[in-house]
Amino acid sequence: MIKFYYHPSPNPAKVALFLEETGIEYEMVPVDTRKGEQHEPEFLKINPNAKTPAIVDTDTGATVFDSTAILLYLADKSGQFQLPSDPAAKGQALSWLMFIATGIGPYSGQAVHFKHFAPGNNDYAINRYDFEAKRHWGLIEAHLAEHQYMAGNEYGLVDIALWGWCGPVPFVMADDNAWSQFPNIKRLFDEINERPAAKRAAELKTRHQFKSDMDDAARQAMFPHTKTA
């Protein structure tokens, strides 16, 4: 069984979708990051980086953190949604998977931080991360204009990884009409949302009453550097 340390945010969402798609038995363990539970010693033993998601595989004793590492581990464990065996196709799948992990996620996250949460005047940072978030999403959009799915001819691991970050796109862009810039991403997002597994993954956030207020305590928990600022 998989113990799945979860908070309703983009990176845990992709793991939730994988678990629901594959039917792997799992137990959701809520980690309320706005309450600072990610900094508690017991969780730091699982992920020293103090972030969700993380998993513990009780069948093997393996502990895995970072959403992309978790997806690759679970694909190997389950034998489902594995990367293609053909070297060329595998290279493309790995490239886009890591592009999401190292580009889409970080730049979108920093765009959100500086637009919505950082105090003071951050014009340079906002311009920097807004530009890079739009540029990265634009590359995904161009790719999906020519391909139905992110890698190969069918829904797969890279689409699952992307799905987690698709929902917040309007918030990332600070634009309620942001989807008009990315019609092909929206096409794929809508298609995945219709899958029963995606509906179950989206429902997971209702199983625990997570803190929603971004008060001073939440800011210190989410952004520890503010404690010494």
CA–CA separation, 10 and 112 (whole Å) = 12
pLDDT in 10s for each residue of the chain, 229 residues: 999 999 999 999 999 999 999 999 999 999 999 999 999 999 999 999 999 999 999 999 999 999 999 999 999 999 999 999 999 999 999 999 999 999 999 999 999 999 999 988 899 999 999 999 999 999 999 999 999 999 989 999 999 999 999 999 999 999 999 999 999 999 999 999 999 999 999 999 999 999 888 888 888 887 887 665 4
* Predicted local confidence at residue 227, as pLDDT: 63
Please name each of the domains of the chain with its CATH number: 2-81+201-224 (3.40.30.10), 87-193 (1.20.1050.10)
Of residues 185, 2, 151, 91, the one with CA closest to residue 12: 2
Query: Is residue 194 a contact partner of residue 151, using CB atoms and an 8 Å limit?
Result: no
